[in-house]
Structure 1
């Protein structure tokens, strides 16, 4: 298991603004073999229907615990609401349909990047895929949807290598018209 530090660089009331920031960051990153992961807690049948249109074979389990229902057991998610969705390794083109699917519910999309490139003029070395991620928290300010809100937060992930993490976060925030808020969360991955 590894982890990265996720720094909030932009919080926007307008979802299209947050998505524009994500696109600007993806234009900087190496995404040749990138993928996206999705996470959400789904509470309503309507939201479940929208999410299943985007991810018909989504991986999920009942919020009360897997013993109360899961995709692994072949249960019907509509009978087990609320459910937790954690779906990994999807193609990049699935991100925006998923962003729209939860409507007002909190969700997160994480882009697994190939790398954050070196930025010689800023003294930054490349950061490998193991620590290069980007997350958009929709209707939430944190990575895990524990702080639902009506705005959306963009987080950049990086590993502190040679003390350049904060410099990289500031550099990336500047490129999307944001600013490093000082908020950093640990993101653990299997």
Structure 2
């Protein structure tokens, strides 16, 4: 599996605005196969509890040292701070997760079948590799290492189709606002 490349197109303190932009992008994408991946950095039991209610069996690993993870069993709350992940979820899970995440840095990534043709930049229909939109909540980066009081929307593309990112931004009435970077996962 190869990585996608991502470029930020929006930074805002208005989570509803960020969700609107995600919706615009999903509206032009081929979403016949649509699923959501979620990741959060959780620092307290108070922040962990509502997420665990929504994600009864997530993958997690301790960020506080050692190699403790869900693979070894035990409770995530005993190993805070932790990074929590859940894959291949229904898009219906997004709103409850965004409410539960509180102030924790988190990403929601929508995976789908492909981007549309972008004739203005000489690109045909894009396949599923590199076809993602990520909303970073309370973070500026995809790795969740730059906590923030705002939220960022990233479009993902294949590296060889980098010109698709500014084209996608324009479809939402925006422009790219940062560098194209290799995305984790």
Normalising by structure 2, what TM-score?
A: 0.92
Question: Which residue pairs with 1:39 in the alignment?
Answer: 39
Which ranges of structure 2 fall in alignment gaps of 5 or more residues? none
Runs of 4+ in 1 over 4 A off after TM superposition: none
User: Are the aligned partners of 2:60 and 2:82 in contact in 1 as well (CA < 8 Å)?
Assistant: yes
Q: 1:180 aligns with which of 170, 176, 179?
A: 176
Please list, as runs of the form range in 1=range in 2, the aligned pairs for 1:1-190 lying within 5 A after superposition. 1-65=1-65, 67=67, 69-120=68-119, 122-161=121-160, 164-166=161-163, 168-189=164-185
Structure 1 length-normalised TM:
0.90
2: CA distance, partners of 1:54 / 1:178:
33
Q: How many residues align?
A: 185
Q: Compared with structure 1, are the counterparts of its residues 66 and 113 closer, same or farther at alpha carbon in structure 2 (3 Å cutoff)? A: farther
Q: Is the 8 A contact 1:143 1:185 kept in 2?
A: no
CA contact (8 A) 1:59 1:87 kept: yes
Counting strand residues as a fraction of each chain, which structure ranks higher?
1
Q: Relative to structure 2, which stretch is displaced further, 141-150 or 119-128?
A: 119-128
Instruction: Name the SS of the counterpart of 1:115 in structure 2.
Output: coil
Q: Deviations over 1:81-140 (max 9, x none)?
A: 111112211122112222222111111111111100113355321111111111100011
Q: Distance in 2 between matches of 1:30 and 1:88?
A: 20
Aligned 8 A contact 2:143 2:184 in 1: no
